[in-house]
Amino acid sequence: MDSRISPDRRAHMREMLVDGDADARTLARFDAVVSRRRFVSMIGRGGALAALATLGASDLAARGLLGRGLLPAAWAQDPKTIPDKPAMIVHNTRPINGEFPAHMLDDSVTPTERHFVRNNGLVPERAEKRDVQGWTLTVDGEVHTPLTLTLDDLMKMPAVTFPALIECGGNGRGLFDPKVRGNQWGQGAVACSEWTGVRLRDILQRAGLKPSAVYTGHYGEDPPIGKAQPFSRGVPIAKAMEAHTLVAYRMNGTPLDPLNGFPVRLVVPGWIGSCSQKWLTRVWVRDTEHDAEKMLGYSYRVPAYPVVPGKIPPKEDMVVATAWVIKSMITTPAAEAQVRAGDSVPVRGHAWAGENRVARVRVSTDYGETWTSATVKPGSSKYAWARWETAVRLPGKGYHEIWAQAVDDTGDAQPLRQPWNPRGYLGNVVHRVGVVATA
């Protein structure tokens, strides 16, 4: 079925723009959108303009939406694949949000092409073009000497390289019951790539922190969508000064992928991913907890006490989410794998614990009645995930589940059922992989 917009309809829409004195740039934008080969027409029988007209909107108003470039994204080309991330499970294309299935995250160091992508806004032009010209990092606020650093300046400072885990604060949201709003992440909005950069601590020490410095506020150059404020969050100064908090300019040995923050980003390992500002341009050192839009209300906040599932507590009872909690994932076998009953089946994966350490991991194949310990090998740096492995035998033909549960050094264990919070943050319920055993 030809999903292109008909030439008649295209001509009519263009005519309206011209009659409305649309400028050359608007017309060029319109032409570009409608001429794309797979222009997806979600318009239906009546046509988009007719649809708007049934709501009493005049041609003038409809033209207004078109003319201002508000041609709805649904009418424009919907990319089928995201650049550099060919196997990604795409939750959304605008803004781009995608993850990878657990079995594709088996590597100790996550390759760039399998690092998840989480965006609140759009990808900056500089990143799309991979053009560092003119990029700077400003450090200002409660510092003695505000700084403006170029990439050259940054690369002249002492650099460190280590693997570090970044996990979206909403990873696991898809498993909440009742369901909550937002991108419905599964297990895969987590990665442990190798990062190279300058310790944020070194940069803040160069700027000289005043005694009044208590928090950071991070800013980047990703264009917000709609009337949203530019995405910004921050961290307490102690976390900013921790030795593994990086201003990173290399990922797995090469410049950052445009979707992962080119040219420079923060890496705040072990904390919810929104602390790790991408396309970084400014660190504002503040004398108070950062209060940008995405620090307030219910955004990246969790209740101060356990709540009844589905019942939203008052705003005053929400506290800022910071470090991740104990978590693990099974990377082998893959979901829906077929195995032979009675055979020894290798089971392995990763475990991590925010600011704590993984103490043990255990595995069950009988819905949590009995458990087998896995051997755990810590990651090669403080915030790299640990590797664990064991083997199981499935007793007979049919469907079985393999469960994995990690416990940290404070005694916190992953829950067997997901505790609820209104926005689906810090989802860390035990990972369950269903497999089918053949006789």
Partner 1 sequence: MIAAALVAVLLILAGPFGAPRLFGAVAQAQPPAPSAPPNAEPLPPDVVRGHCSVCHAYRLVEQQRLDRANWDWVMDDMIDKYGATWIDRALRERIVDYLVEHYGAER
Q: Considering the complex, what minimum distance in angstroms separates the CB of residue 92 from partner 1? A: 5
Question: ∠200-201-205 over CA atoms, to 5°?
Answer: 120
**Per CB under 8 A, 51 contacts partner 1:** yes
Residues ≥6 apart with Cβ < 8 Å to 104:
87, 114, 188
Q: Which stretch binds partner 1 (CB under 8 A): 38-46, 101-109, 243-251, 279-287?
A: 38-46
Question: ∠346-352-357 over CA atoms, to 5°?
Answer: 115
Residues ≥6 apart with Cβ < 8 Å to 136:
148, 149, 150, 281
Helices (H) and strands (E) in the chain, counts: 8, 23
**Which lies closer to partner 1 via its Cβ, residue 10 or residue 206?**
10
**Per CB under 8 A, 44 contacts partner 1:** yes
**Per CB under 8 A, 304 contacts partner 1:** no
- The answer to whether the peptide bond before residue 230 is cis (omega within 30 degrees of 0) is no
**Count of other CB atoms within 10 angstroms of residue 181:** 10
**Per CB under 8 A, 313 contacts partner 1:** no
**Which lies closer to partner 1 via its Cβ, residue 24 or residue 439?**
24
Residue type at 313 in one-letter notation? P
Q: Which of 4, 39, 64, 132 binds partner 1 (CB under 8 A)?
A: 64
Backbone angles phi, psi at 90, to 5 degrees: -90, 115
**Contact present, 297 and 279 (Cβ < 8 Å):** no
**Per CB under 8 A, 334 contacts partner 1:** no
Q: Considering the complex, what minimum distance in angstroms separates the CB of residue 186 from partner 1? A: 12
Instruction: Identify residues 264-283 at the interface with partner 1 (CB under 8 A).
Output: none
Q: Considering the complex, what minimum distance in angstroms separates the CB of residue 69 from partner 1? A: 9
- The answer to whether the peptide bond before residue 101 is cis (omega within 30 degrees of 0) is no
**Per CB under 8 A, 72 contacts partner 1:** yes
**Which lies closer to partner 1 via its Cβ, residue 213 or residue 259?**
259
**Per CB under 8 A, 88 contacts partner 1:** no
Q: Which stretch binds partner 1 (CB under 8 A): 7-15, 81-89, 107-115, 177-185?
A: 177-185
**Per CB under 8 A, 65 contacts partner 1:** yes
**Per CB under 8 A, 226 contacts partner 1:** yes
DSSP string covering 147-180: EEEEHHHHHHS--EEEEEEEE-TTTTGGG-SS--
Q: Which stretch binds partner 1 (CB under 8 A): 91-99, 135-143, 231-239, 265-273?
A: 91-99
Residues that bind partner 1 (CB under 8 A): 42-44, 46, 48, 51-52, 54-58, 60-65, 67-68, 70, 72-75, 78, 90-95, 178-181, 183-184, 225-228, 293, 312
